[in-house]
Chain A
Amino acid sequence: MAAEMEPPPLGDAGQTDFREIEDGEGFFVSTVTILESPEPSSPDPPSMPAEGISTNGPKQEDISLDDDPEDLFAEATEEVSLDSPEREPILSDGPSPAITPVTPTAMLTPRMGLGTAEMFERSLDELEEDESGDTFDMHIAVSDPEKVGDGMNAYMGYKVTTKTSMTIFSKNETTVRRRFSDFLGLHSKLASRYLHIGYIVPPAPEKSIVGMTKVKVGKEDLSSAEFVEKRRSALERYLMRTVKHPILLKDPDVMMFLESSELPRAVSTQALSGAGILRMVNKAADAVNKMTIKMNESDAWFEEKHQQFENLDLQLRKLHASVECLVCHRKELSVNTASFAKSAAMLGNSEDHTALSRALSQLAEVEEKIDQLHQDQAYADFYLFSELLGDYVRLITAVKGVFDHRMKTWSKWQDTQLLLQKKREAESKLQFANKPDKLQQAQDEIKELEGKVQQGEKDFELISKTIRKEVSRFEKERVKDFKVVIIKYLESLVQTQQQLIKYWEAFLPEAKAIA
């Protein structure tokens, strides 16, 4: 599939400075410092498809540069500063799903004498520093929900505004209109492309039949307004998370989504479409597979991380439930305070002692303001704290999905290996049976399978590597995210308390004035 790619001029390869390669199929675009030219040497493993691959340090035989050189960076050569701080390595990813992924540079550089992983990471750090010329500077806002159309075919259109100074985008500021199914379509494309090779693709906000039906029907009440606001905010967070991922950012679908004014309608996201049903079947198959695959975990890191994420998942779900409870109770408090305020006002009216009557009316006013305060606090509780937790619960599901994909890859590899073994046995039997044509066939098959096995192994290693990086990036993001949001949330609590002080201090002289 990728073979149709136009290879970039290989003459560029010789430069020692920054090169940018771009191709239209969602391949990773990066700036990279290459210290030697990638050689268009013949591909080593026979099964390597015509995909671009890594450039590497000189004399790397197993690299093959192809028609589409895909720029993988990471060469740590001596010139590269190796003491760059530990940062998230940016990994290039393989091509679209239909093709088996390409072995990355990570496999290479044994001659450096360093462990491939560390080298890789360090060189990637170096890369990131280079990349700081084009630092992550993007802001996406989702706003202006507008109902388009009428009746059951109506939908909400959202305005998506992208402000950025990054050079990969054609304009500094773009505005497009999108609908919810567009977002879902984007996510499904990204998921099909990246999930199975180990990238954590942020999940899209969930469909909600009840909510949307209310909107479609045109019910203009508080709950549907809240629903639209909730969705808008969720879509904004979804987009921000997606573009924060350096690889997903460069995906042409993402860029198309953000920039082009018209998008093809993503019909496959509908629940009852063919694609939808296929999805459901796949989900069921996956669930069964998960139970039957028993993987020999050779890497303790994965075991540990898997367990960690399971625990985190449980805890976050519990926390989420508690916070939802809090939101609910705070809303209740607001309602009860409002009703008390009304009744205090009536009490003040019927009180015949003038000063006390005035004080009671003031009390009613204070309580009314306080009820508004509680309502605002409930919104902050929800949009800051509760939604953060909800997002991370879904993200962790994506992470677990990625771990599952690794398991699947492993199992595929093992299956291929078993098949190879069987074929070998069959071949040895055939040797004694003396059937030359069948023998030849068997030998061909074996050669093919051997290639496949190697491929499977490489895939497995690749996905493991990718996951390691992704997880570390994820953790860093998580730390940042939580910190920022929690500070915001605490500040909202502080503000509420400040307002409370103000209101009660205003009331105090009134109360003292009762004679």
Chain B
Amino acid sequence: MYLLWDSWCGVCFQKLANIDLQHTICTFLLYIYIFYITIMTSTIDDSDKEKALSVSVDLNNDTSLLIDIPDALCERDKVKFTVHTKTTLSSFQKPDFSVPRQHEDFIWLHDALVETEDYAGLIIPPAPPKPDFESPREKMHKLGEGEATMTKEEYTKMKQELEAEYLAVFKKTVQVHEVFLQRLSSHPVLSKDRNFQIFLEYDQDLSVRRKNAKETFGSFFKNMVKSADEVIISGIKEVDDFFEQEKTFLLDYSSKIKDSTARAEKMTRSHKNIADDYIHISSTLSSVSVDDNTALKKHFEKLSDLFEKLRKVEGRVASDQELKLTELLRYYMRDIQAAKDLLYRRARTLADYENSNKALGKARLKSKDVAAAEEQQQQCLQRFNKLSESGKRELTSFKGRRVVAFRKNLIEMAELEIKHAKNNMSLLQDCIELFKSS
């Protein structure tokens, strides 16, 4: 499959060798989707596929509703996902169908779920982040500028690295969107949501349903109000120990995990930088060896080879760390935010309940509208209890999910680090042997 990719790549870049870089990126991204199909069917990337799902475990087990994103197309800034559903449920019109969706459709679905009153007691899976090709694009730009200072093969290698990076970002964004849908489909309540069904089934453009500009602005404003509320609400006295604990924990944890995510990102980037340096060193060594006619010639060649192999391993180290550690932290950062939102909603109903109590008291004093106030108070209490109950369930299962995911990822990361270090070591030792013997 890689051969296919290589030939496409080759064609693409050959043609575009003279055109400016922007066009190259464009067409390149177009070709990514072709590649994506190819890799999805190849065995090489089965492990990648498994990796893809590890941030959240136990998804897509229920055969009554199976969702996946088999391919995606990238044009300029927009990514078009093909959402494929296989279901045995009668609520759907067909047992097997696919629709094209854009990132904005996912956001619409998420917001629709958040705004549904009935789901106030549930943790709504966090919306997938917007596809962000900024970092590789910047690198591509820098590479274009620095082309004159590099040899041909150095440039090719750097370009390859960059392509790999683009691909990684692309795969990540597909994965993150897929996981979002799969969490919905495996949730007993959310999977039955009407909007969700529409999302999966409606075979025309969803843009009519999406927020227009005014609504987007409104939601932004709402978020601001929400954060202000959050501050006020966190001051409310909690009646339930469980929720008190959860609140303290989540508030604290959320800031720490944000911090960790940022630093893990920096660490991963440093690893990538080192891998890139190895490319430069390797190619300079090979040019030194070309000119050299002493006994060092062979040594420089071997060394250049070694660095080339080392940088591939370093690159894997960087990307594995990214997937296992940074992605994990990033995902749970968002998930914890969703849990916090749940707490917020519950606290709001608690506040409402307390307000309705006060209103009832006042009504009783004035002996006016007592029945209405009582009714109100009952409703509030009911809502509060419902939220508390489902909230407790959700938060407990959330913790379980989190612990399992962390465990899996940390184990996998440690194992991969060991594997790569062993690989490095054997490469280095072979080289040392060669050096010492000659």
What is A's interface to B at a CB cutoff of 8 Å? 308, 311-312, 315-316, 318-319, 322-323, 325-326, 329-330, 332-333, 336-337, 339-340, 343-344, 346-347, 350-353, 355-356, 359-360, 363, 475, 478-479, 482-483, 486-487, 490-491, 493-494, 497-498, 500-501, 504-505, 507-508, 511-512, 514
Cβ 8 A contact of A346, one of B256, B267, B270, B296: B256
Q: Are B263 and A339 in contact (CB under 8 A)?
A: yes
Q: Are A343 and B407 in contact (CB under 8 A)?
A: no
Judged by a CB distance under 8 angstroms, whether B414 is at the interface is yes
B270 contacts across to A, CB distance below 8 A: 329-330, 332-333, 336-337
What is B's interface to A at a CB cutoff of 8 Å? 245, 249, 252-253, 256-257, 259-260, 263-264, 266-267, 269-271, 273-274, 277-278, 280-281, 284-285, 287-288, 291-296, 299, 303, 306, 399, 403, 406-407, 410-411, 414-415, 417-418, 421-422, 424-425, 428-429, 431-432, 435-436
Q: Are A344 and B260 in contact (CB under 8 A)?
A: yes
A504 and B294 contact, Cβ closer than 8 Å, known pairs A332-B273, A343-B263, A487-B436: no
Q: Are B277 and A343 in contact (CB under 8 A)?
A: no
A347 and B411 contact, Cβ closer than 8 Å, known pairs A478-B294, A493-B428, A501-B421: no
Query: Which single residue of chain A is at the shortest CB-CB distance from B423?
Result: A497
Q: Are B410 and A333 in contact (CB under 8 A)?
A: no
Q: Are B418 and A508 in contact (CB under 8 A)?
A: yes
Sample of 5 A–B contacts (CB below 8 Å):
A312-B291, A315-B291, A322-B280, A336-B270, A343-B260
Q: Are A353 and B399 in contact (CB under 8 A)?
A: yes
Nearest-neighbour CB distance to chain B for A236, whole angstroms, equals 23
B431 contacts across to A, CB distance below 8 A: 490
- Excluding A322-B277, A322-B281, 7 further A-B contacts by CB distance (< 8 Å) are A336-B263, A347-B253, A490-B432, A494-B425, A497-B424, A500-B418, A504-B414
A356 and B256 contact, Cβ closer than 8 Å, known pairs A311-B291, A507-B414: no
Q: Are B288 and A316 in contact (CB under 8 A)?
A: yes
B406 contacts across to A, CB distance below 8 A: 356, 359-360, 514
A326 and B294 contact, Cβ closer than 8 Å, known pairs A337-B267, A343-B263: no
Q: Are A350 and B253 in contact (CB under 8 A)?
A: yes
Q: Are A500 and B291 in contact (CB under 8 A)?
A: no
B410 contacts across to A, CB distance below 8 A: 359, 363, 511, 514
Give A200 to B299 CA distance when docked, in angstroms.
Answer: 25
A311 contacts across to B, CB distance below 8 A: 291
A482 contacts across to B, CB distance below 8 A: 296, 299
Give A360 to B403 CA distance when docked, in angstroms.
Answer: 11
A323 and B281 contact, Cβ closer than 8 Å, known pairs A315-B288, A339-B266: yes
Give A512 to B260 CA distance when docked, in angstroms.
Answer: 21
Nearest-neighbour CB distance to chain B for A384, whole angstroms, equals 13
Q: Are A326 and B435 in contact (CB under 8 A)?
A: no
Nearest-neighbour CB distance to chain A for B270, whole angstroms, equals 4
Query: Which single residue of chain A is at the shortest CB-CB distance from B270?
Result: A333
Q: Are B435 and A340 in contact (CB under 8 A)?
A: no
Nearest-neighbour CB distance to chain B for A372, whole angstroms, equals 14
Q: Are B259 and A494 in contact (CB under 8 A)?
A: no
Q: Are B263 and A319 in contact (CB under 8 A)?
A: no
Nearest-neighbour CB distance to chain B for A315, whole angstroms, equals 4
Nearest-neighbour CB distance to chain A for B89, whole angstroms, equals 35
B284 contacts across to A, CB distance below 8 A: 315, 318-319, 322
Give A379 to B76 CA distance when docked, in angstroms.
Answer: 43
B428 contacts across to A, CB distance below 8 A: 490, 493-494, 497
Cβ 8 A contact of A336, one of B253, B267, B407, B435: B267
B417 contacts across to A, CB distance below 8 A: 500, 504
Cβ 8 A contact of B259, one of A337, A346, A501: A346
Q: Are B267 and A333 in contact (CB under 8 A)?
A: yes
Cβ 8 A contact of B266, one of A336, A359, A360, A505: A336
Q: Are B288 and A350 in contact (CB under 8 A)?
A: no
Give A155 to B278 CA distance when docked, in angstroms.
Answer: 39
Give A330 to B272 CA distance when docked, in angstroms.
Answer: 11
Give A227 to B405 CA distance when docked, in angstroms.
Answer: 46
Give A332 to B266 CA distance when docked, in angstroms.
Answer: 9
B414 contacts across to A, CB distance below 8 A: 504-505, 507-508, 511
Nearest-neighbour CB distance to chain A for B234, whole angstroms, equals 17
